Amino acid sequence: MAHPRPAVVAPAFVEAENAEQSGEEWLEAPTGEDDDAADGEVDEQTNDRSATDDRPTTSDAVPQPFWVLAPTERDVVDELGLAVFGIGPTAWALVIDERDGAYVVRHEDGRTGLLHEIDDLTKG
């Protein structure tokens, strides 16, 4: 009694025509592209996801901290508008968030405050 040949999983770069020439049954290796169906449908032409996809988008993502350098001395203030510390052209400042058109800046000693003068900053 002849046993059927076992299926062989081919790497994604193996073309179907090579598989046909060998006479073996080839299955395509999983690429993870089918996982999209479980998370939401994908429009093949635009690569857009449907509304059922609950993965965060860039607008939903948590902002990433970044460094800024101010060309002039500027005050970083608390919610009442009182100066907490200053930043300037001699040291980079860490921005940890954005709030109402201002940057939330963290000092090296852990203090935080709002930088309202965000024009002409160098981002690094």
Give how many domains the chain has, as a whole number: 2
Asked if the structure places residue 98 within a domain, the reply is: yes
Q: What is the pLDDT of residue 63?
A: 80
The pLDDT value recorded for residue 8 is 47
Q: Which two structure tokens, joined as six digits, stand for 83?
A: 């100066």
Same domain, 49 and 23: yes
CA distance 54 to 60: 10
Range of the domain at 24: 7-55
Strands (E), 54-116: 66-69, 74-77, 83-87, 93-99, 102-106, 112-115
Question: How confident is the model at residue 58, as a pLDDT?
Answer: 53
- Shared domain check, 88 and 44: no
17 within a domain of the structure (yes/no): yes
Q: Are residues 87 and 112 in the same domain?
A: yes
Burial 5-22 (b: 16+ CB within 10 A, else e): eeeeebeeeeeeeebeee
Decide if 65 contacts 94 (C-beta within 8 A).
Answer: yes
> Which residues partner with 68 through β-bridges?
93, 123
What residues in the chain have per-residue pLDDT under 70?
Answer: 1-61
Q: What is the pLDDT of residue 48?
A: 56
- Distance separating alpha carbons of residues 33 and 98, to the nearest angstrom: 35
Co-location of 28 and 50 in the same domain: yes
Domain membership of residue 61 (yes or no) is: no
- Model-level pTM? 0.52
CATH number at residue 91: 2.30.30.40
Q: How would you label 65-93 residue by residue, b for 16+ Cβ within 10 Å and e otherwise?
A: eeebbbeeebbbbeeeeeeeeebeeeeeb
Same domain, 93 and 72: yes
